[in-house]
Amino acid sequence: MTNIIAFLLTHQRNFSAGIGMIVSLLTLGLTSGLQSAQATTPQHLVQAGEPVQRSVNNAPAELKNLLAQIDASASQGDIKKVMQFYSPNFVHGDGLNRQTLEQSLITLWKQYPKLRYSTQLQSWKSEGNAIVAETVTNITGLPAANGNNMALNATITSRQRISGAKIVRQDILSERSLLTSGSKPPQVDFKLPQQVKVGQQYTFDAIVNEPLGDDFLLGTALEEPVQANKYLNPTPVDLQLLTSGGLFKTGRAPSTPGSQWISAVILRGNGITMVTQRLQVVKQ
């Protein structure tokens, strides 16, 4: 038990910082480059006055090359390059604006300086003078040399609206992130629906796959609304002794549509794992 307590005291602060902001901000650094596609799209693909759905297979080489270039730039964590592509009136579905976006990205990239981005274009279309693009982004982060011994894997689906060579709006459609720390983090099977209706009851489980043996298991589940202030003021983590092989919870969706962050944090022996997924709450 002594080793578990020492490990928890060492890493609890790091996991607290990750709860509120890690999943949604990971994709913002790379989608900024999509605005340039408006200038490089062949004109024969655009029909004036009506939306045009673009086949991913037939996407211009300029757009594919651009995504690869932005992946590389975002992996460098260059905040100046990233922010020059955002409109002064930028709006994010989670309530961020351009200023809070920049502040949050700076904080994120200081804590996770080795993020690597890889993006796949899912669909894109023109709407008048604007472009709407949906992408799936995979992000990995290796443990940092500064002692923040955490590894990251995340997948985010997002939609961007680009107008006048600037990103004017972005919405996160789905997301899941996995943060691990320690020499042997627990392998966790996380089960949660992607979407529920307002007021609907739902269940989510975080089950440790390996036999427990004589190990103690500590953990907690967090449910919190997706809000802009959570990006810079994350929720602290308070782990408790678990009497079973994981977390088994029942929740109820709020009475108004929106998004929730559902997280499970589990510590076992010399490792800790956090899984966070976005739950979309929709109208009846």
Q: Do 101 and 191 belong to one domain?
A: no
- pLDDT score, position 130: 77
Task: Look at residue 2 and tell me if it is in a domain.
Answer: no
| Residues forming a β-bridge with 259 | 280
Q: How many other CB atoms are there within 10 angstroms of residue 217's CB atom?
A: 21
213: domain CATH number is 2.20.130.20
Distance CA 261, CA 222 (A): 8
CA separation (Å) from 197 to 64, 276, 281?
Answer: 36, 20, 5
Q: Are strands 86-92 and 166-182 parallel, antiparallel or unpaired?
A: parallel
Distance CA 181, CA 22 (A): 15
Task: Look at residue 266 and tell me if it is in a domain.
Answer: yes
What pTM value is reported for the model? 0.79
Distance CA 139, CA 206 (A): 22
- pLDDT score, position 284: 75
Q: Which of 15, 14, 12, 21 is nearest to 229 (CA)?
A: 21
Query: Amino acid identity, residue 116?
Result: R
Q: Do 146 and 131 belong to one domain?
A: yes
Decide which of 175, 194, 226 is a domain's last residue.
175
- pLDDT score, position 41: 37
Q: Do 33 and 114 belong to one domain?
A: yes
Give the chain's domain count. 2
Which residues in the chain land under pLDDT 50? 1-50
Distance CA 281, CA 258 (A): 5
Q: Do 28 and 161 belong to one domain?
A: yes
- pLDDT score, position 50: 46
Distance CA 25, CA 44 (A): 35
Task: Look at residue 9 and tell me if it is in a domain.
Answer: no
- pLDDT score, position 60: 59
- pLDDT score, position 54: 62
Q: Do 86 and 171 belong to one domain?
A: yes
- pLDDT score, position 21: 40
Domain that holds residue 228: 179-282
58: domain CATH number is 3.10.450.50
Q: What is the DSSP letter of 97?
A: -
- pLDDT score, position 33: 30
Helix (H) or strand (E) holding 229: helix 229-232
Decide which of 159, 175, 191 is a domain's last residue.
175
Helix (H, G, I), strand (E, B) or coil at 83: helix
Q: Which of 127, 39, 121 is nearest to 85 (CA)?
A: 39
Decide which of 175, 201, 220 is a domain's last residue.
175
- pLDDT score, position 40: 36
211-222 pLDDT, tens digit per residue, is 877 778 899 998
Q: Do 79 and 58 belong to one domain?
A: yes
Helix (H) or strand (E) holding 19: helix 2-19
